[in-house]
């Protein structure tokens, strides 16, 4: 609670100083809008629903795409770690494609799927899938063999060993891979929304884009703030519980 | 040591039979003969201690008996059946505790118990609690593994190995990391458990006094290549006290033999 207070005070002071600097003209208003105008914009767009609608559209794309990325990435990562030929094929592919910023998929996605939601999903999936695969693969490879030996002497075999030993033992890697996949998915979706207008729904990226077109910098900054807040919230809701669990169980060194 | 022929002529009431087991490892260009034609018989309910200097293949032999590794030549029979893989009836306890950090202490015990069929959930918990109590960790049932001291980890691992009630317990220097007091307490515990449950135990240690205190028989290994050199029967009454004079006599005898195969090398004899 106290840490929240500290953060709040610091940010409030920051906003006030910023506001003053803009008001007295030390910073030109066309480059940086004052916080009061950003707040005004946020209030207005919250009131007329555009902000919530856009957030909804963006979050739906993000969550669905990310879930598909996870659902495909986790098993693929496990298969990679298990089978040499998977490692040599899918593993290599993942290694290569992970380095490709997923905005690069935009032209192909538009060609294949048109200006549709599917194109957006595709880009988000391409953003998250590879890092999830790679992290899961690395996690399994880093499982200490003594755990597997111990499990085997206790009578664990095959699928049981995978589910009860190998996957939990690689959790620290898998969670950090999931986190990375989330960050990549988020980034690629924003890029895609800024570059491409999709008629089936206007997301936060579009609002940002139109803010630029209209020279409404208070809109740009406002949307940026919303994007940051969503990122922080996702971290708290999606990943903090996992990380707390890892920290509690594994202790300091690994989590 | 009895010859192979003798062994074959009298089908044994042996729990474990190790027949001419050899195992090589390649380390870079060098070939290490970890075990060279090792034969060993262990009767049902016998407590056998393997002693020998570091690198003489004791862990390797234990792994082979457990079915975790395959011998190059020879075979291991458990209850007359060739060992082809690990089996719950031959549980192994490792040098490091190998406890699972994603489970708490009780969870670790339940892991081994859950793999045992024909037990209700309530029975499993009761068994787990019993063994936690036995090793003095009942207050730590819900502790995380990283919160335990090295000694407590080994005690938890011992409880986890005992919980599914295996016929054979393979222990690889399980007490090496414990403080002397805990260790003495566990010498008592393990003798009591062994007597109550008539488990067959193969116990690897560096500590000759420990071996003489626990074992019905002490098997002496020598390194490169790993071979069995001598066996000593310890016919002292139980429970044995690690500090007793009678034990010291045996310890002296075994240590002297050990030194014979190991000119100049230092070995931990006792505390
Ligand atoms: N997986 C392995 N790969 C390569 N060499 C191995 C392997 N396991 C054991 N060795 C070698 O085999 C020999 C015997 O090893 P082992 O671990 O059985 O000895 P040990 O008697 O248990 O020693 P210690 O008392 O130090 O535990 C050693 O020289 C070791 O280097
Ligand atoms: Mg060893």
Q: Is the CB of residue B76 less than 8 Å from the CB of residue B16?
A: yes
Q: Which residues, 6+ apart, have CB-to-CB distance to B54 below 8 Å?
A: B206, B223
Instruction: List, chain by chain if needed, residues with CB within 6 Å of any ligand 1 atom.
Output: B 25, 27, 32, 34, 52, 54-60
Residue A254: pLDDT band with limits 50, 70, 90:
very low
> Which residues form the domain of B26?
13-89+202-271
DSSP structural state of residue A5: H
The whole-number pLDDT of residue B68 equals 92
DSSP for A177-224 reads: HHHHHHHHHHHHHHHHHHH---TT---HHHHHHHHHHTT-HHHHHHHH
**Ligand nearest the Cα atom of residue B267:** 1
Residue B270: pLDDT band with limits 50, 70, 90:
very low
Give the domain CATH number at B258: 3.40.50.300
Residue B7: pLDDT band with limits 50, 70, 90:
low
- SS3 state at A59: helix
The whole-number pLDDT of residue B225 equals 85
The whole-number pLDDT of residue B2 equals 60
Query: What stretches of B198-242 show up as alpha helix (H) in DSSP?
Result: 208-214
Residue B112 lies in a domain: no
Percent above pLDDT 70 for chain A? 98
Q: How far is B22 from chain A (nearest CA, A)?
A: 21
C-alpha–C-alpha distance, residues B167 and B170, integer Å: 10
When CB atoms are compared, the residue of B96, B111, B170 closest to A164 is B111
Residue B174 lies in a domain: no
C-alpha–C-alpha distance, residues A56 and A58, integer Å: 5
Residue B170: pLDDT band with limits 50, 70, 90:
very high
A199-220 residue pLDDT tens: 777 888 888 888 888 888 888 8
The whole-number pLDDT of residue B243 equals 86
- Indicate yes or no: CB of B115 within 8 angstroms of CB of A165: no
Q: What CATH topology corresponds to A34-249?
A: MetI-like fold (1.10.3720)
Residues B198-216 have a mean pLDDT of: 91
Going from N- to C-terminal start, the domains of chain A cover 1-32, 34-249
- Overall number of domains in chain B: 1
CA distances from A246 to A70, A171, A242, A255, B102 (A): 19, 8, 6, 5, 8
Closest C-alpha to B171, from B47, B81, B254, B85: B47
- Indicate yes or no: CB of A152 within 8 angstroms of CB of B96: no
A18-63 residue pLDDT tens: 888 888 888 887 778 888 888 888 888 888 888 888 888 899 999 9
Residues B248-252 have a mean pLDDT of: 90
**ipTM of this predicted complex?**
0.83
- Read off φ and ψ for residue A79, nearest 5 degrees: -65, -40
The whole-number pLDDT of residue A249 equals 86
Nearest CA in chain B to A160: B115
DSSP structural state of residue B144: B
pTM of the model: 0.82
Give bridge partners of residue A26 from the DSSP assignment: none
C-alpha–C-alpha distance, residues A81 and B42, integer Å: 39
Q: Which residues, 6+ apart, have CB-to-CB distance to B97 below 8 Å?
A: B145, B150, B153, B154, B156, B157
The whole-number pLDDT of residue B258 equals 87
Residue B137 lies in a domain: no
**Ligand nearest the Cα atom of residue B206:** 1
Residue B29 lies in a domain: yes
> What is the position in ligand 1's atom list of the atom closest to the CA of B206?
25
Residue A238: pLDDT band with limits 50, 70, 90:
confident
B19-60 residue pLDDT tens: 989 999 988 888 888 899 899 999 988 999 999 888 888 999
The whole-number pLDDT of residue A251 equals 81
Q: How far is A134 from chain B (nearest CA, A)?
A: 21
Residue B100 lies in a domain: no
Residue B246 lies in a domain: yes
Residue B106 has pLDDT above 70, yes or no: yes
Count CB-CB contacts under 10 A for residue A49: 10
């Amino acid at each position: 609670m106290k840490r929240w207070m500290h953060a709040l005070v610091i940010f409030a002071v920051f906003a006030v100083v910023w506001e003053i600097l803009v008001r007295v003209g030390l910073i030109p208003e066309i480059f940086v809008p004052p916080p009061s105008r950003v707040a005004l914009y946020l209030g207005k767009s919250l009131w007329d629903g555009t902000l919530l609608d856009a957030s909804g559209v963006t979050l739906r794309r993000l969550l669905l795409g990310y879930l598909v990325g996870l659902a495909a990435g986790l098993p693929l990562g496990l298969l990679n770690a298990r089978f040499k030929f998977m490692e040599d094929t899918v593993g290599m592919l993942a290694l290569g494609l992970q380095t490709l910023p997923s905005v690069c998929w935009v032209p192909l996605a538009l060609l294949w799927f048109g200006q549709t939601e599917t194109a957006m999903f595709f880009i988000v999936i391409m953003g998250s899938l590879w890092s999830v695969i790679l992290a899961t693969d690395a996690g399994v490879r880093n499982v200490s063999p003594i755990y597997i030996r111990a499990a085997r002497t206790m009578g664990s075999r095959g699928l049981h060993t995978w589910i009860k030993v190998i996957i939990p033992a690689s959790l620290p890697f898998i969670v950090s891979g999931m986190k990375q996949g989330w960050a990549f998915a988020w980034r690629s979706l924003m890029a895609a929304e800024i570059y491409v207008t999709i008629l089936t729904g206007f997301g936060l990226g579009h609002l940002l884009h139109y803010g630029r077109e209209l020279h409404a910098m208070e809109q740009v900054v406002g949307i940026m703030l919303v994007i940051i807040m969503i990122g922080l919230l996702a971290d708290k809701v999606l990943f903090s519980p996992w990380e707390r669990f890892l920290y509690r169980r594994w202790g300091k060194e690994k989590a | 040591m009895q010859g192979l022929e003798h062994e074959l002529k009298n089908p044994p009431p042996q729990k474990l039979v190790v027949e001419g087991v050899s195992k090589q490892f390649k380390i870079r260009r060098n070939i290490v003969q970890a075990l060279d034609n090792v034969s060993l018989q262990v009767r049902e309910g016998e407590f056998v201690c393997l002693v020998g200097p570091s690198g003489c293949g004791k862990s390797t032999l234990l792994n082979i008996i457990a079915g975790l590794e395959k011998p190059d030549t020879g075979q291991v029979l458990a209850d007359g059946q060739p060992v082809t893989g690990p089996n719950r009836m031959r549980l192994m306890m490792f040098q490091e505790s190998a406890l699972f950090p994603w489970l708490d202490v009780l969870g670790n015990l339940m892991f081994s118990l859950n793999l045992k069929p024909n037990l209700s959930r309530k029975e499993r918990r009761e068994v787990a609690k019993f063994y936690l109590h036995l090793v003095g960790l009942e207050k730590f049932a819900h502790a995380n593994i990283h919160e335990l001291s090295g000694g407590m980890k080994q005690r938890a691992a011992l409880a986890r190995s005992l919980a599914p009630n295996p016929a054979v317990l393979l222990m690889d220097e399980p007490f090496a990391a414990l403080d002397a007091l805990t260790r003495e307490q566990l010498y008592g515990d393990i003798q009591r458990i062994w007597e109550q449950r008539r488990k067959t135990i193969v116990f690897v240690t560096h500590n000759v006094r420990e071996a003489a205190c626990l074992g019905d028989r002490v098997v002496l290994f020598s390194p490169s290549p790993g071979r069995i050199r001598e066996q000593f029967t310890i016919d002292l009454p139980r429970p044995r006290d690690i500090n007793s004079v009678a034990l010291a006599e045996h310890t002296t005898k075994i240590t002297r033999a050990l030194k014979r195969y190991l000119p100049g090398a230092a070995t931990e004899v006792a505390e």
